[in-house]
């Protein structure tokens, strides 16, 4: 049953929404309501096996746990992008790659988000099985571990050896500041289970009387009166209604969060008028200038007789602007229904200059928007990615005993995306910033956005660990009374 009012209404039960809900409901006098569009679960045992199994990414075209968006990667390359649509969000169905943003990534964030200031919150989110000390947590909700070299899949082990022979450093801890190189991937996996923020943060506290989590509910608009958010209009099994809120936190992801703001009248005023939406607050940065990591996949063939994979990505090579990923299985084996039969080596541009935008459907702005990536529009991006493909091809040639001789075919590769979309509601204090340094929507009281939308740009590593840290820190600030009056 959906209450008529809550002190905090969180739109979206993804990674950030789960962290926020768990930590904000620590106060028994604060009522918290989570509105999730997808399925919700009341216990660990109710979570389907394909969501828990870290060897499987249930994001194929027939998956009931995702939603799809049309995308234009370049003027010549169209794609379909999937995001998690289930309690736990994309963090419940991803590759369990839990690596932190690098210290230099925070140079584009407001000063209060320097690496030194966020490190205690990275530590608070995790229990690291391999490292202790000042850099790592020992009692946080998310388990973090790495596959030792001697237990890695033969491809991972051979790739790491080839990278070191090529002169790249061996890095023991990719979550520590230090040099680039090849190292084991930090993963949020325990005993083969993908431990999402739902399982780690929210599931243990679902029985709190002040916490309500509902699924199958779509937020259609944030209700704004004057300069203040008053509640959320929703559509669900019982029809449309409005839930009143003391504070609304939008945590619907880097696509849905800007879309919901625009549907609510917050965004580029000229564009909203063109779509028939009454602009309440002109914020030209909503949905604009997002970044993501282009990924070019180089196909090849395994030699026969290799063992099955357990985690899709066990090791990676980092250079200044690239990440090279030796996936331990074909996407066809790891992503049911993907139809990609051969294994691939992923070449990822980690510091892209090109920027994209979210384009609402003119026929019906409530429909899934177009993700116009504009990949490789900056010539430097194309040059760096081409260099990465040559590096990947050379490394594959050195993976003896694992890759069939002559099977590497960079010319048959494909441009895709790493699904790390960030910056559609970025934080800052300039005219194009959407939220302030504490994720409050500029110009609208009692309304926040807390997810990868607010990252100034995609971090040079996968965003999941940084997103969990963000939500943990924002909730900590709210718990002590600042900066949220919730």
Neighbours of 62 (CB within 10 A): 8
**Binding-site residues for FAD, please?**
86
Tell me whether the omega of the peptide bond preceding residue 483 falls within 30 degrees of 0, making it cis: yes
If we measure between CA atoms, which residue out of 317, 222, 293, 325 comes closest to residue 452?
A: 293
Question: Is-catalytic flag, 318?
Answer: no
Beta carbons of 316 and 185 less than 8 angstroms apart: yes
Exactly one of 281, 309, 420, 464 is catalytic; name it: 420
3-state secondary structure the chain: CCCCEEEEEEECCCHHHHHHHHHHCCCCCCCEEEECCCECCCCHHHCCHHHHECCCCCCCCCCCCEEEEEEEEECCEEEEEEEECECCHHHHCCCCECCCCCHHHHHHCCHHHCHHHHHHHHHHHEEECCCCCCCCCECCCEEEECCCHHHCCHHHHHHHHHHHHCCCCECCCCCCCCCCCEEECCECEECCEECCHHHHHHHHHCCCCCEEEECCCEEEEEEEECCEEEEEEEEECCEEEEEEEEEEEECCHHHHHHHHHHHCCEECHHHHHHCCCCCCEECCCCCEEEECCEEEEEECCECCCCCCCCCCCCEEEECCCEEEEECCCCHHHHCCCCCCCCCEEEEEECCCCCCEEEECCCCCCCCCCEEECCCCCCHHHHHHHHHHHHHHHHHHHCCCCCECCCCCCHHHCEEEECCCCECCCCECCCCCCCECCCCEECCCECEEECCHHHCCCCCCCCCHHHHHHHHHHHHHHHHCCCCCCC
If we measure between CA atoms, which residue out of 290, 289, 281 comes closest to residue 440?
A: 281
Q: Give the Cα separation of 394 and 166 in Å (integer).
A: 9
Beta carbons of 82 and 66 less than 8 angstroms apart: yes
Neighbours of 414 (CB within 10 A): 14
- Measured CA distances, 481 to 24, 298, 334, 485 (Å): 11, 50, 44, 7
| Active site members | 420
């Amino acid at each position: 049953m959906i209450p008529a009012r809550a002190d905090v209404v969180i739109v979206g039960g993804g990674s950030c929404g789960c962290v926020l809900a768990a930590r904000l409901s620590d106060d028994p006098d604060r009522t918290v309501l989570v509105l999730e569009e997808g399925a919700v679960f009341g216990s660990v045992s109710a979570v389907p096996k394909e969501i828990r199994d870290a060897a499987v990414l249930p994001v194929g075209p027939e998956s009931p746990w995702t939603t799809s968006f049309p995308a234009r990667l370049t003027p010549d390359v169209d794609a379909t992008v999937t995001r998690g649509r289930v309690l736990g969000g994309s963090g419940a169905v991803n590759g369990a790659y839990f690596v932190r943003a690098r210290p230099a990534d925070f140079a584009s964030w407001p000063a209060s988000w320097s690496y030194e200031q966020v490190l205690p919150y990275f530590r608070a989110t995790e229990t690291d099985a391999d490292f202790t000390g000042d850099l790592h947590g020992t009692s946080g909700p998310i388990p973090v571990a790495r596959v030792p070299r001697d237990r890695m899949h033969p491809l991972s082990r051979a790739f790491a050896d080839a990278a070191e022979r090529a002169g790249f450093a061996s890095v023991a801890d990719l979550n520590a500041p230090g040099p680039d190189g090849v190292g084991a991937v930090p993963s949020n996996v325990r005993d083969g289970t993908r431990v999402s923020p739902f399982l780690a943060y929210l599931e243990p506290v679902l029985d709190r009387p002040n916490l309500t989590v509902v699924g199958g509910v779509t937020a259609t608009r944030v209700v704004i009166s004057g300069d203040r958010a008053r509640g959320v209009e929703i559509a669900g099994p019982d029809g449309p209604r409005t839930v009143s809120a003391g504070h609304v936190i939008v945590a619907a992801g880097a696509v849905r969060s800007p879309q919901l703001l625009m549907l609510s009248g917050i965004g580029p005023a000229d564009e909203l008028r063109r779509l028939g939406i009454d602009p309440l607050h002109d914020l030209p940065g909503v949905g604009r200038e997002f970044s993501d990591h282009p990924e070019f996949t180089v196909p090849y063939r395994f030699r026969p007789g290799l063992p099955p994979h357990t985690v899709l990505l066990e090791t990676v090579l980092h250079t200044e602007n690239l990440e090279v990923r030796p996936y331990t299985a074909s996407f066809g084996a790891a992503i049911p229904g993907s139809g990609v039969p051969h294994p691939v080596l992923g070449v990822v541009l980690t510091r892209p200059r090109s920027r994209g935008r979210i384009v609402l459907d003119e026929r019906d702005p409530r429909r899934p928007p177009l993700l116009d990536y504009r990949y490789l529009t900056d010539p430097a991006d194309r040059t760096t990615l081409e260099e990465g493909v040559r590096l990947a091809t050379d490394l594959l040639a050195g993976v003896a005993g694992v890759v069939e001789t002559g099977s590497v075919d960079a010319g048959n590769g494909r441009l895709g995306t790493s699904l790390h979309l960030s910056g559609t509601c970025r934080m800052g204090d300039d005219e194009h910033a959407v939220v302030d340094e504490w994720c409050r929507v500029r110009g609208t009281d009692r309304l926040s956005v807390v997810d990868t939308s607010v990252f100034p740009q995609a971090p040079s590593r996968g965003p999941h660990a940084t997103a969990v840290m963000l939500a943990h820190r924002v909730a900590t600030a709210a718990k002590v009374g600042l900066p949220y009056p919730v």
